[in-house]
Amino acid sequence: MVQHLIEQALQAHRAGRLEEAETLYKQALVEQPRHPDALHLAGVVALQTGAAEQAIGLIRRAIEVQPKNPAFHGNLAQACLALQRVADARVAFRRAAALDPREPQFAVGAANCLALQGRFAQAERELRAVARRHPGSALAWFNLGNTVQEQGRHQEAADLFRHAIALEPAMADAHNNLGRALHQLERFEEAENAYRRCLVVQPDYATGYCNLASVLIDRGRFAEAASVCEQALPRFSGSAELQLQLGSARTHQGMLASALEAFRAAADAAPDNPRALWACGYTLIRTGKETEGLQWLERALALQPDSSEYRSALSTLLLSLGKLQAGWREHEWRAARRSALADNPNLSLAKALPDSLSGLRICLLREQGLGDELFFLRFAPLLKAQGAEITYLANAKIASLLERVPALDRVIAGNRPLPPADLNLLIGDLPWALGASDYAPPLALAALPDRLESMKQRLDALGPPPYLGLTWRAGTAPEQQRGADWSLHKALPLEPLGAALREADGTLIALQRNAETGEIGRLAERAGRPVHDLTAVNDDLESMLALLALIDDYIGVSNTNMHLRAAAGRSARVLVPQPPEWRWMATGDESPWFPGFRIYRQGVDGDWGEAMAKLGGDLRGG
């Protein structure tokens, strides 16, 4: 009778009818309360239905009756893990392994308990021993790869995952984790292939879709990433991670309104997920809902108050809203500062300035790109006005320009050794150190007379004034980036830009750095007249400064040339993608950082139509 009940229960159990199986196991235990299989299997059902504490009690009773059954100890370990009782789980796994040394899964489980406790090196040693004893066990090699991956040895981990796959090609987790290791190594194409193989092996693998979307975003294939998420979501409607990846892909396309829908869905699915809360808050602010957005950000920061990612992003948001003091306070969390500290562990970097700067030798250190150098050096005159003696460590490309800045006593080009100084200060820390509460004017740079004359002759040869300079892309192209910072990549659609220029009076000049083959021709065709190629001038910023000082108008995205145009005392028309860089503010037709510059903003739905129409109208009106 008891055995018949257990056989019926097992049939229901294997078919996934857990409630029926539980009832039958209990009936068997009424008949025979110490039946070891009924106790053990009832415990397994309890574990599968979320009653881990009950499972432990039942399985322990089974072990009392049959103490040398390794499966009982193995499932006891799983129940302990469900309650995060890792030390108890390790004891149970080790007992199971001792009872059945031929089965590697128990020894692997014991080693994994060490990894869960953060003892990765010890876990690695045990897993290597298991792999030596069981060289044909894909499970051992896979978990060894996980432990090595946790220690940051991504290439070695990738090799171990490949070994596991060779032993068991259908192991979806191994394909996925191989993709993760390659992703960490920024070998994006190989990572994409690994994620795709994972999904071939196991099409219902939600994490595989999330990771595939993530690497597609890193490759700049935003529309394809969004499509992956949209195809997977009907199967995994409750996946907050898929919604976050979808929102991220749409954000990179400038489609903030639809990105917000995805982020709200992620927050609904995981209300305590700080990433979802942050994404909602960030996007709400970017779509003009400042008050509501800041409330979401506060909730995210309450969960992760020391997140450098969130605090750095908060800085840019606050600055874009004109909250300067609060924004500069958070600016110390930026990635560039963390990188500078990591790259120069023996360098003392100041964040604050003493009350008196008279005669103080201060060495200012560059960070990020050329545009950032030119932007933050606008604060150097304030430092000089307080009596400091300033040395600046400049990028060699702009060192000669900066040598003519009165506020800088000395300019060092490239990576030469730092001179003796009383304080070393990153230029990005200047506003906070100075207590800046207002918008400093752009740094002023005077073009060299001989370059002005040379550029004037080149312009005269192209055609009559007015001269309109054009730039449609900035930052490293997505497919060329490794570890993309998408806020620094901007690109305009050429056809709408050309249409906006069609009725503008003047001679069109391409100033695009690294213009791609055919781009200038496409722009000229849409504009209906020649676009002259002066892109090579980007190789000599002294000449570019002179050219930007001479041309009548400059139209393009935010880039180094925009900063040079401002430094030359001229205005420009800047097309700002969504989400905007903080320097161009969250809203408005002008930025207080760039007086006189006219801003044309991409719509929150990703559309450039209104901005291009407005640009065309302004150009026709002079």
Q: How far apart (Å, rounded) are the C-alpha atoms in residues 163 and 136? A: 10
Confidence (pLDDT) at 480: 43
- Give the long-range contacts of residues 39-48, CB within 8 A, separation 24 or more: 39/65, 40/69, 40/71, 40/72, 40/75, 41/6, 41/9, 41/10, 41/13, 43/75, 43/76, 43/79, 44/13, 44/75, 45/13, 45/18, 45/21, 46/22, 47/75, 47/78, 47/79, 47/82, 48/18
How does residue 622 score in pLDDT terms, banded at 50, 70 and 90?
A: low
Q: With cut-offs at 50, 70 and 90, classify the pLDDT of residue 363.
A: very high
Give the range among 13-17, 210-214, 618-622 with minimum mean pLDDT: 618-622
**Which pLDDT value is given to residue 485?**
45
**pLDDT per position as a tens digit, 28-43:** 888 888 989 889 988 9
Peptide bond into 449 cis (omega under 30): no
Do 382 and 434 contact (CB within 8 A), yes or no?
yes
Instruction: Give the other-Cβ count within 10 Å of 252's Cβ.
Output: 25
What per-residue confidence (pLDDT) applies to 3? 86
pLDDT digits 0-9 by tens, 145-189 = 999 999 999 999 999 999 999 999 999 999 999 999 999 999 999
β-pair partners for 575: 600
What is the domain partition of the chain in residue ranges? 345-434, 449-620
Question: How confident is residue 138, by pLDDT bands cut at 50, 70 and 90?
Answer: very high
For residues 531-535, average pLDDT: 97
CA-angle at 112, arms to 111 and 114, nearest 5°:
70
Over residues 445-489, the pLDDT tens digits come to 999 999 999 999 999 999 999 999 999 999 754 444 444 344 456
Token duo for residue 253: 């396309």
Per-residue pLDDT tens digits for 549-560: 999 999 999 999
In the sheet with 410-413, reading across from the earlier edge strand, the strands are 410-413, 389-394, 361-365, 423-426
pLDDT at 488: 52
3-state secondary structure of 188: helix
Neighbour count for residue 610 (Cβ, 10 Å): 12
C-alpha distances in angstroms, 505 versus 200, 465, 508, 528, 562? 56, 9, 9, 12, 21
Share of the chain above pLDDT 90, in %: 83
CB 297 within 8 A of CB 281: yes
DSSP sequence for 292-335? HHHHHHHHHHHH-TT-HHHHHHHHHHHHHTT-HHHHHHHGGGSH
Q: How confident is the model at residue 340 (pLDDT cuts 50, 70, 90)?
A: confident
| Cα-based angle 116, 118, 123 (whole degrees, multiple of 5) | 75
* Confidence at residue 9, expressed as pLDDT on a 0 to 100 scale: 82
- Which pLDDT does position 162 carry in this prediction? 98
Q: What is the pLDDT of residues 257-303, one digit of tens each?
A: 999 999 999 999 999 999 999 999 999 998 889 899 999 999 999 99
Q: Nearest CA to 250 among 272, 268, 273, 224? A: 224
Domains 345-434 and 449-620 share a fold: yes
Answer yes or no: CATH 1.10.3470 is held by domain 345-434. Answer: no
Please provide residue 341's backbone torsions phi and psi, each rounded to the nearest 5 degrees: -65, -40
Give pLDDT, residue 30: 84
Rounded to whole angstroms, the Cα distance separating 173 from 165 reads 9
Q: According to DSSP H, which parts of 378-465 are helical?
A: 380-385, 399-402, 430-434, 449-462
For all residues of the chain together, what is the average pLDDT? 93
Record the pTM: 0.79
Q: What three-state secondary structure class fits 133? A: helix
* pLDDT for res 368: 82
Q: For residue 344, is pLDDT > 90?
A: no
Q: How far is CA 213 from CA 184, 189, 206, 235, in A?
A: 15, 13, 11, 16
Residue whose token pair is 């960030």 = 282
Mean pLDDT computed over 517-527: 96
pLDDT band at 602 (very low <50, low <70, confident <90, very high): very high
Q: What is the 3-state secondary structure (H, E, C) of 353-395?
A: CCCCCCCCEEEEECCCCHHHHHHHHHHHHHHHHCCCEEEEEEC
Give Cα separations from 405 to 352, 357, 392, 408, 444 (angstroms): 24, 19, 11, 6, 8
The average pLDDT across 505-530 equals 95
Mean pLDDT, range 103-125, rounded to an integer: 96
- pLDDT for 377: 97
Q: What is the CATH number of domain 449-620?
A: 3.40.50.2000
What pLDDT was estimated at residue 478? 45
- C-alpha distances out from residue 565 to 117, 278, 530, 552, Å: 56, 35, 23, 11
Does residue 599 have a pLDDT over 60? yes
- Cα gap 320→1, rounded to integer Å: 75
Given this model, what pLDDT does residue 489 score? Answer: 64
Q: 341 pLDDT exceeds 90? A: no
Q: What is the DSSP string of 56-122?
A: HHHHHHHHHH-TT-HHHHHHHHHHHHHTT-HHHHHHHHHHHHHH-TT-HHHHHHHHHHHHHTT-HHH
Q: Which of 459, 469, 462 is nearest to 619 (CA)?
A: 469
Residue 583 in contact with residue 570, Cβ under 8 Å?
Answer: no
Whole-angstrom CA distances from 193 to 117, 187, 199, 458 are: 32, 10, 10, 49
Residue 227: other Cβ atoms inside 10 A: 15
Instruction: Extract the tokens encoding 365.
Output: 């250190």
If we measure between CA atoms, which residue out of 594, 576, 599, 591 comes closest to residue 286? 576
